[in-house]
Amino acid sequence: MTSRSQNPAGRPPGFVYRETKRGILRWGGQSILHCEDVSLPKLAAKYGTPLYVYSAAMIRERYDAFDAAFRDVPHAICYSVKANSNLSILRLLARKGCGFDVVSGGELERVLTADRKAAKKVVFSGVGKTREELSSALKAGIMLFNVESESELWALAECAGRLRSTAPVALRVNPDVAAKTHPYISTGLHKHKFGVPISEARALYAKASGARYLKVRGASVHIGSQITDVAPFGEAMARVADLVRELRADGHNIDYIDAGGGLGIAYEKPNPLEFSGYVATYARALAAPLRGLDVQLLLEPGRSIVGPAGVLLTSVIYRKENDGKRFLVVDAAMNDLIRPALYGAYHEIVSVTYGTDAATKSEVSDIVGPVCETGDFFARDRELPAVSEGDLLAILDAGAYGMVLASNYNTRPRAAEVLITGKSAKVIRRREKLQDLLRAEL
């Protein structure tokens, strides 16, 4: 890859290769992958592997790109906490003025721990909110509840009445718009569990408006995740815009339209557009149907902000060959990053160091972990420069749906997380120890 001297596979800056000088304590004749100004081998030597590494600069840059793309539209960015919920990343975004989209009481507590003032910028989504969670959100004074069923609506009214509080409500409508993505993360069709059918929304809004402790404030939609074609977003927004016009004709005050999230990233083939141009295209698709509506647009990006800002750093434990089939057994596993096992998801994997010699040998191998499951793999039949036992690999685009989906399967302690800012490296989650796993058991 000729672009490697600058960044792997044309990915945005944040993770860059830099050539080293020959000499004592140098990786002579090699290029070394860095996160901002910190080399990944140094991080591995200090903190061990597997290790999640995040670029603070890239997170900030991608947030700013969203904010700039929607500058002509009244908007609020409500980062989707489920993508990566580390407190330090939430604080980083809160300092930028970001709001948050939560889908559980636990995520709400994380936001309040990161910045209690951020509650006024929180939207609460999810199909199974409990009364305890609804009450906690009412006490916190969040901006908006995205209600997903009539039963939930009355549960919220009950909780608000008990607290003598008014709940700001939007109904999440299901527009029956198909999105080209994995079926597990598609949410906008009538067969999915999310939202209420858009054809039934007006009747439910009428019921909500008659409830003493509910206040209708908006309409919400979310059609899925990892969607790279902006056309379905525009189609869904057009249907919601038509609904809003009908609701206003019915006498409802609609201040917000929550467009959800779901904008995808380029896991495999680099996006031909710079990220700012890509988000601008997305912004135009959403904004066009809203002309003349005078609403505040709520956006819930998650993956598109933090995904490319993180890598999972892992060490090669063994090289193995079975009848000509090569394997690289690494110390990360499906419990650290489950996306390949769960979705068959592609992540680019690169050597952390590689020789400057253009004739560097390459090999085709499966990159697998040590968990006792055949599904414990990160790549199959992947061509990589030849690596040795003890070498480091970086699994790219692991900043979203990586650590948040990690588990302790096979009694494996979860990885540490490190946030890089320029030349500074900060541990934002320490590596678990076996004692941590056993402490809660009687």
What CATH number does the domain containing 45 carry? 2.40.37.10
For the chain, give the mean pLDDT: 90
Q: Are residues 111 and 49 in the same domain?
A: no
Flag whether pLDDT at 47 surpasses 60.
yes
The answer as to whether 163 is a domain residue is yes
pLDDT-derived band of residue 130, with 50, 70 and 90 as boundaries? very high
Report the alpha-carbon distance of residue 267 to residue 234 in Å, rounded.
23
Q: Are residues 74 and 15 in the same domain?
A: no
Residue at a domain's end among 301, 329, 359: 301
Report the alpha-carbon distance of residue 169 to residue 177 in Å, rounded.
23
Instruction: Report whether 403 contacts 415 (CB < 8 A).
Output: yes
What domain count does the chain have? 2
CA distances from 139 to 143, 152, 159 (A): 12, 17, 10
Percent of the chain with pLDDT strictly greater than 70: 89
Q: Are residues 229 and 257 in the same domain?
A: yes
Token pair of 340 as six digits: 């390949």
Q: What is the pLDDT of residue 182?
A: 41
Q: What is the pLDDT of residue 178?
A: 53
Q: Are residues 181 and 328 in the same domain?
A: no
* pTM, to two decimals: 0.92
User: Dihedral of CA 79/82/83/86: which sign?
Assistant: positive
Q: Are residues 264 and 201 in the same domain?
A: yes
Q: What is the pLDDT of residue 122?
A: 98
pLDDT-derived band of residue 270, with 50, 70 and 90 as boundaries? confident
180-223 per-position pLDDT tens digit = 544 444 443 454 445 788 888 999 999 999 999 999 999 999 88
Report the alpha-carbon distance of residue 433 to residue 418 in Å, rounded.
17
73-100 per-position pLDDT tens digit = 999 999 999 999 999 999 999 999 999 9
Residue at a domain's end among 301, 320, 342: 301
Closest CA to 83 of 60, 102, 111: 102
What CATH number does the domain containing 213 carry? 3.20.20.10
Give, to the nearest 10 degrees, the angle between helix 275-287 and helix 231-249: 30
Eight-state DSSP code of residue 165: -
Residue tagged 């929607």 (tokens): 70
Instruction: Report whether 383 contacts 1 (CB < 8 A).
Output: no
Flag whether pLDDT at 272 surpasses 80.
no
Helix (H, G, I), strand (E, B) or coil at 406: coil
Q: Are residues 42 and 175 in the same domain?
A: no
Q: What is the pLDDT of residue 386?
A: 92
Instruction: Report whether 89 contacts 115 (CB < 8 A).
Output: no
Token pair of 157 as six digits: 């009214």
Which of 35, 78, 98, 372 is catalytic? The answer is 372
Flag whether pLDDT at 343 surpasses 70.
yes
136-187 per-position pLDDT tens digit = 999 999 999 999 999 999 999 999 999 999 999 999 998 876 555 444 444 4
Q: What is the pLDDT of residue 180?
A: 52
314-338 per-position pLDDT tens digit = 999 999 999 989 999 999 999 999 9
First to last CA, the chain: 53
Token pair of 341 as six digits: 């096992």
Provide the domain limits for residue 245.
Answer: 70-301
Q: What is the pLDDT of residue 189?
A: 42
Flag whether pLDDT at 359 surpasses 60.
no
Q: Are residues 321 and 376 in the same domain?
A: yes
Q: What is the pLDDT of residue 29?
A: 63
17-40 per-position pLDDT tens digit = 988 765 554 445 689 999 999 999
Flag whether pLDDT at 2 surpasses 50.
no
Q: Are residues 296 and 317 in the same domain?
A: no
Q: What is the pLDDT of residue 5?
A: 39
Helix (H, G, I), strand (E, B) or coil at 127: coil
Percent of the chain with pLDDT strictly greater than 90: 79
Residue at a domain's end among 243, 266, 301: 301
Instruction: Report whether 366 contacts 377 (CB < 8 A).
Output: yes
Instruction: Report whether 58 contacts 12 (CB < 8 A).
Output: yes
Q: Are residues 48 and 100 in the same domain?
A: no
Token pair of 41 as six digits: 């081998």
Question: How does strand 38-39 pair with strand 30-35?
Answer: antiparallel
Q: Are residues 267 and 341 in the same domain?
A: no
Q: Are residues 218 and 166 in the same domain?
A: yes
pLDDT-derived band of residue 11, with 50, 70 and 90 as boundaries? low
pLDDT-derived band of residue 225, with 50, 70 and 90 as boundaries? confident
pLDDT-derived band of residue 357, with 50, 70 and 90 as boundaries? low
Report the alpha-carbon distance of residue 277 to residue 254 in Å, rounded.
30
Q: Are residues 203 and 94 in the same domain?
A: yes
78 carries an active-site annotation: no
430-439 per-position pLDDT tens digit = 999 999 999 9
Report the alpha-carbon distance of residue 305 to residue 261 in Å, rounded.
11
